[in-house]
A and B are shown apart, each in its own frame.
Chain A
Amino acid sequence: MPTAIAIETICRRNAADALHDKLFRGVLRVCALLVLAALLGAALSTLWGGREVLFGDGWHFLTSAQWNPVENRYGAWAPIYGTLVTSCIAILIAVPLSFGIALFLTEIAPLWLRTPVATAIELLAAIPSIIYGMWGLFVFVPFMANHIDPLLDSSLGRLPLVGALFRGPPLGLGLLTAGIVLAIMIVPFISSVMREVFQTVPARLKESAYALGSTTWEVVWDIILPYTRQAVIGGIFLGLGRALGETMAVTFVLGNAYDFSTSLLMPGTSISSSIANEFNEAVGLHRSALIALGFLLFVVTFVVLLIARWMLRSLKRKEGNA
Chain B
Amino acid sequence: MFNFRKIALAVGVAAAGLSLHATAADVTGAGSSFVYPVLSKWSATFAEKTGNHVNYQSIGSGGGIAQIKADTVDFGASDKPLDAEELAKFGLGQFPSVIGGIVPAYNIDGVDSGKLVLDGKVLAGIFLGSITHWNDAAIARLNPGVKLPDAKITVVHRSDGSGTSFNFTNYLSKVSPEWKTKVGEGTAVRWPAGIGGKGNEGVAAYVKQVKNSIGYVEYAYALKNNIGYALMDNAAGKTVKPGNASFQAAAATADWAHAQDFNLIMTNAPGADAWPITATTWVIMVKQPKNAANSKVVLDFFKWSLENGQAQAQELDYVALPAALVKQIEAYWQAQFKH
Which A residues lie at the B interface, using CB under 8 A? 66-71, 133, 137-138, 141-142, 145, 171-173, 251-252, 254-258, 267, 276-283, 286-287
Cross-chain contact of B162 among A71, A252, A281 (Cβ < 8 A): A281
Instruction: Check if A251 sits within 8 Å of B198, measured CB to CB.
Output: yes
Residue of B nearest to A172 (CB): B209
Measured as residues with beta carbon below 8 angstroms from the partner, the interface class of chain B is 20 to 34
Take A252-B202, A255-B196, A267-B196 as given contacts and tell me if A69 and B190 are in contact as well, using a CB distance cutoff of 8 Å.
Answer: yes
Cross-chain contact of B187 among A69, A255, A256 (Cβ < 8 A): A69
Instruction: Check if B61 sits within 8 Å of A281, measured CB to CB.
Output: yes
Does B184 belong to the interface (CB within 8 Å)?
yes
Stretch at the interface among B40-48, B62-70, B258-266: B62-70
Residue of B nearest to A266 (CB): B195
Q: Distance (Å) between the CB of B119 and the closest chain A CB?
A: 23
CA distance A214 to B66 in the complex (A): 65
Cross-chain contact of A256 among B166, B196, B201 (Cβ < 8 A): B196
Residue of B nearest to A69 (CB): B188
Take A70-B184, A70-B185, A281-B162 as given contacts and tell me if A145 and B195 are in contact as well, using a CB distance cutoff of 8 Å.
Answer: no
Residues of B contacting A138 in the complex (Cβ-Cβ under 8 angstroms): 205
CA distance A283 to B69 in the complex (A): 12
Instruction: Check if A282 sits within 8 Å of B195, measured CB to CB.
Output: no
CA distance A68 to B183 in the complex (A): 9
Taking CB atoms and an 8 Å cut-off, the chain B residues in 275-319 that contact chain A are: none
CA distance A282 to B59 in the complex (A): 11
7 pairs from A and B in contact (CB 8 Å cutoff):
A66-B190, A137-B198, A137-B201, A255-B159, A267-B195, A281-B187, A283-B66
- Mark each residue of chain B from 110 to 141: 1 if its CB lies under 8 Å from any CB of chain A, else 0: 00000000000000000000000000000000
Q: Distance (Å) between the CB of B159 and the closest chain A CB?
A: 3
Instruction: Check if A171 sits within 8 Å of B162, measured CB to CB.
Output: no
Residues of A contacting B188 in the complex (Cβ-Cβ under 8 angstroms): 69, 277-278, 281-282, 286
Q: Distance (Å) between the CB of A137 and the closest chain B CB?
A: 5
Taking CB atoms and an 8 Å cut-off, the chain B residues in 180-202 that contact chain A are: 183-191, 195-198, 201-202
Residues of A contacting B160 in the complex (Cβ-Cβ under 8 angstroms): 251, 276-278, 280-281
Does B322 belong to the interface (CB within 8 Å)?
no
Q: Distance (Å) between the CB of B97 and the closest chain A CB?
A: 17
Residues of A contacting B202 in the complex (Cβ-Cβ under 8 angstroms): 137, 252
CA distance A167 to B23 in the complex (A): 64
Q: Distance (Å) between the CB of A313 and the closest chain B CB?
A: 35
Cross-chain contact of A251 among B159, B162, B209 (Cβ < 8 A): B159
Residue of A nearest to B58 (CB): A280
Instruction: Check if B205 sits within 8 Å of A280, measured CB to CB.
Output: no
CA distance A256 to B65 in the complex (A): 25
Does B25 belong to the interface (CB within 8 Å)?
no
Take A67-B190, A257-B195, A286-B188 as given contacts and tell me if A278 and B205 are in contact as well, using a CB distance cutoff of 8 Å.
Answer: no
Q: Distance (Å) between the CB of A177 and the closest chain B CB?
A: 12
Instruction: Check if A287 sits within 8 Å of B198, measured CB to CB.
Output: no
Residue of A nearest to B199 (CB): A252
Residues of B contacting A251 in the complex (Cβ-Cβ under 8 angstroms): 159-160, 198
Q: Which are the 10 A-B pairs with shortest beta-carbon distances? A: A280-B60, A281-B161, A256-B159, A256-B196, A70-B184, A281-B187, A277-B160, A278-B161, A68-B190, A281-B62
Q: Distance (Å) between the CB of A27 and the closest chain B CB?
A: 14
CA distance A142 to B59 in the complex (A): 30
Does B220 belong to the interface (CB within 8 Å)?
no
Residue of B nearest to A278 (CB): B161
CA distance A69 to B183 in the complex (A): 10
Q: Distance (Å) between the CB of B243 and the closest chain A CB?
A: 27
Instruction: Check if B186 sits within 8 Å of A69, measured CB to CB.
Output: yes
CA distance A282 to B198 in the complex (A): 15
CA distance A142 to B206 in the complex (A): 9
Residues of A contacting B163 in the complex (Cβ-Cβ under 8 angstroms): 281
Taking CB atoms and an 8 Å cut-off, the chain B residues in 35-92 that contact chain A are: 59-63, 65-66
Instruction: Check if A70 sits within 8 Å of B183, measured CB to CB.
Output: yes
Instruction: Check if B205 sits within 8 Å of A137, measured CB to CB.
Output: yes
Residues of A contacting B195 in the complex (Cβ-Cβ under 8 angstroms): 171, 173, 255-257, 267
CA distance A119 to B246 in the complex (A): 56
Does B210 belong to the interface (CB within 8 Å)?
yes
Residues of B contacting A256 in the complex (Cβ-Cβ under 8 angstroms): 159, 195-198
